[in-house]
Amino acid sequence: MISLKPKLAKLFAKNVRKSILRWSNKPLETQQKVFRKLIKDANNTMFGKDHDFKSINSYNDFVKRVPIRDYEDLKPYVDKVVAGEENILWKGKPLYFAKTSGTTSGAKYIPLTKESMPTHVEAARNAILMYIAETGKSKFVDGKMIFLQGSPILEESNGIQLGRLSGIVAHYVPKYLQKNRMPSFETNCIEDWEAKVDAIVEETLPKNMTIISGIPSWVQMYFEKIQEKTGQKVGEVFKNFNLFIFGGVNYEPYRSKFENLIGRKVDSIELYPASEGFFAFQDSQNEKGMLLQLNSGIFYEFIEANTFFDDNPKRLMISDVKVGVNYVMIISTNAGLWAYNIGDTVEFTSTKPYRVIVSGRIKHFISAFGEHVIGKEVEQSLKEAIESSLVSVSEFTVAPQINPESGLPFHEWFIEFEKEPQDILSLAERIDASLQEQNSYYYDLIAGKVLQPLKITTVRKNGFQDYMKSIGKLGGQNKIPRLSNDRKIADAIYHQKLTK
């Protein structure tokens, strides 16, 4: 029997693409509409009254009244919402709290409202539909689709359900995808990540898998277990698997490893989801970057990353950004986050339409000596150093070594190799040369004999998994920071004897 689903998917994709083009071709008008509605809808909330929203008539008024905040600054309001109070940050109560791990305050509770929740689901759906509209490929909708995610089991507190974002979203999978979706609800509820991946392998092996989605580092574990069990490449086991959907980290450091595990190239779609909002998705296989979601109840501001820690950094609207500049992204949302710093840095790859790449975290950088090396730079350096070679990297992180036993300080790269280089010193030199080329501050410090070139420390197989397990963050949405400005992770790696 011939399925109608691929044909219907193409028609649906065509209509969604038209809708997306309408707002993406009018970006400034779209953002102004979002801004006005946010201010109007929150007029009578505690936050709105505290910041005199009724007298805000322009963006400049907003900047004067609403300072930039991170979670710690917003916590007094969030605590009231968690306690069950209404009309605090947004009208009424949230539907959910996405519970995430905080660095200084323990658990963080990010609100999800009846206005914000649909945007998380629609953006993920639209990413697939835009892929169909561009490529014409739609047969995969008849196959099985796996989404590696957190447990869908939710707790409840003061009438508000809480859980991991991916677990919450699992309750919103459209009915037409329910039969295709894997793993089963029971398997998805397994808390132990390794046991969960083992169960997913057992469930999916006999199925016609066409889409696989998740954070690359954890999908890699799934792929490795499939290969161990079958002795075959993933692409041989799942002959119709042709689309990988990922988010959370840059895919490039994993690409060669994945192509080896799969045994062939597959198309990929990058997403930019977070508990605070679904910010962007890859809308084209031919253009760099992800389409910023300007009509999803989120008003965006941007601050140049190199000025962010100044006393009064300049806040910019979408109309003022430039391609290739590293910005800290600030959001105000229909979930009640106001001028909120999510901690991410982005660069625009295009302003017609507005597309971004995630360049790192404002807290994840190395500037022990004023070099301000960011995540994008270390990832690019490694990519350039290993391309056109047989070297393959599973995972890595970078930390400053300020007090070496001898010689000048340096950046220490902890790398877990899938295929090790024959000459590790030569690899270190290539990475260092690329980093110097990208970052003039780093170049000056090397040239001025303030730093010596970087050194590589090899991490044993599965060492990073063991580290994440030791801190209770194996699986789910957790990931290793690409770099740190201290040696907390580095010291743990040595203490746990995870190096070779």
pLDDT at 209: 94
Would the pLDDT of 238 be above 90?
yes
pLDDT at 105: 47
> How much is the mean pLDDT over the chain?
90
pLDDT at 323: 97
Q: Is 156:168 a contact under the CB 8 Å cutoff?
A: no
Q: Is 256:392 a contact under the CB 8 Å cutoff?
A: yes
Give the residue-averaged pLDDT of 254-258: 81
- Please report the DSSP string for 69-138 in residue order: B-HHHHHHHHHHHHTT-SSSSSSS--SEEEEEE-SSSSEEEEEE-TTTHHHHHHHHHHHHHHHHHHH---
Low-confidence winner among 172-186, 283-297, 332-346, 437-451 (lowest mean pLDDT): 172-186
Would the pLDDT of 85 be above 90?
yes
pLDDT at 173: 75
Would the pLDDT of 254 be above 80?
no
pLDDT at 176: 66
pLDDT in tens, 90-146: 999 999 999 876 544 457 899 999 999 999 989 989 999 999 999 999 999 999 998
Q: Which CATH architecture has domain 365-495?
A: 2-Layer Sandwich (3.30)
Tell me which residue of 31, 69, 60 sits closest to 292, measured CA to CA.
31
Q: Which fold has domain 1-362?
A: Rossmann fold (3.40.50)
pLDDT at 104: 42
Map out the domains of the chain as residue ranges: 1-362, 365-495
pLDDT at 242: 94
Q: How far is CA 119 from CA 95, 147, 274, 291, 293, in A?
A: 14, 18, 12, 14, 9
Low-confidence winner among 105-119, 230-244, 286-300 (lowest mean pLDDT): 105-119
- Please report the DSSP string for 206-226 in residue order: TS-EEEEES-HHHHHHHHHHH
The percent of residues in the chain predicted with pLDDT above 70, rounded, is: 97
The 10 Å Cβ neighbour count of residue 10 is 16
Low-confidence winner among 32-36, 77-81, 255-259 (lowest mean pLDDT): 255-259
Tell me which residue of 275, 266, 273 sits closest to 131, measured CA to CA.
266
Mean pLDDT comparison of 183-197, 448-462, 477-491, highest-scoring range: 448-462
pLDDT in tens, 397-444: 999 998 898 888 999 999 999 999 999 999 999 999 999 998 888 988
pLDDT at 51: 98
Would the pLDDT of 300 be above 50?
yes
Q: Is 201 helix (H, G, I), strand (E, B) or coil?
A: helix
Give the residue-averaged pLDDT of 191-217: 89
pLDDT in tens, 354-394: 999 988 878 777 878 878 788 888 989 999 999 888 898 99
Predicted structure pTM score: 0.80
Q: Residue 181's pLDDT band (boundaries 50, 70, 90)?
A: confident
Would the pLDDT of 476 be above 70?
no
pLDDT at 257: 81
Tell me which residue of 292, 301, 281 sits closest to 341, measured CA to CA.
301
Q: Is 458 helix (H, G, I), strand (E, B) or coil?
A: strand
